[in-house]
Amino acid sequence: MIIDFRVRPPYGSFLNAVPYKDLVRTEFVCNRMGMHLPEAARQKSVEMMLAEMDAAGITKAIIPARKTNPNYGIVDNDDVQHFLETYPERFIGFMGVDPLEGDTALEEIVQRVVNGRFTGVIMEVGMLSTPLYADDERIWPVYQLCEEKKIPVILMNGANAGPDVSYSNPISIDHIAVKFPQLKIVISHGGWPWVTEMLHVAWRRPNVYVSPDMYMVNFPGWQDYVTAANYVLRDRFLFGTAYPFVPFEEGVAYFKNCGILEDRLPDLFYNNAARLLGL
């Protein structure tokens, strides 16, 4: 069994986001990583994507909505909810949140997560129309609510996480992990390129999980992710593909052959995520 912690299906408003809107760019990135553009992405077929998941042994996947600057492609929470209702056994939804919406954001979290179909919250705060660092006090009410209600939070904190590379600096993650010690924080894109710094923060803060997803695959620093997955973060390291940037079968094969110890794979593929999500 495998849980993929970041998948963008070819569905609804996902098709207006960058991975599907600009397939030429997506294929270029895939090729630079030594991967191939998935055929389901090329054909924009959900059914083909499900077949690709089955072939790779991926039993569940996390589907993130997106509330950001519209230039990046907003992924509507209603679209994701409909997708979850259509495929209830295969997908787990994380609700997109713009913390600058204030009380409206908090009310929607209660509606959609506490009392609804979503399991967690995802924020990409450096990509808002007003970019924020992850430790900005204007986000604290969201963190407080999620900590109180035991809602896991994905923070996209790596690569193109904001107007410049400082928005990926994990020092902001360190600050909030200390401020909200019971909040479960998943770092999507693994803090890349601040790889060792991010792994240091996660090692120090037991409420931080690392999911490098596509930045695990032949990006500089991937060897350090492997070392962390084998040893100091073996209980808080998560598998992800950032599909469609990494095809399912190629991503699983890469994970199995990049140097991760065989006896660590059940935890990294499934157990760590299942424990985090309460499955």
User: pLDDT for 127-172, tens place per residue?
Assistant: 999 999 999 999 999 999 999 999 999 999 988 899 999 999 999 9
The chain-wide mean pLDDT, for the chain, equals 96
The CATH number for 264's domain is 3.20.20.140
Residue 246 phi/psi, 5-degree rounding, is: -125, 120
Query: Quick one: tokens of 139?
Result: 């986000």
In this prediction the pTM is 0.96
Query: Can you give the residue range of the structural domain that contains 220?
Result: 2-277
The neighbour count for residue 178, using CB atoms within 10 Å, is 13
Distance CA 174, CA 154 (A): 14
What is the total count of domains within the chain? 1
Report how far apart, in Å, the C-alpha atoms of 90 and of each of 112, 113, 162 are: 18, 18, 31
Classify residue 182 by burial, with Cβ atoms within 10 Å: 0-12, 13-18, 19+.
exposed
Distance CA 243, CA 231 (A): 26
- How do residues 217-275 score in pLDDT, each as one tens digit? 999 999 999 999 999 999 999 999 999 999 999 999 999 999 999 999 999 999 999 99
Which residue type, as a one-letter code, is found at position 221? G
Q: Where are the beta strands (DSSP E) in 72-191?
A: 91-96, 120-123, 153-156, 185-188
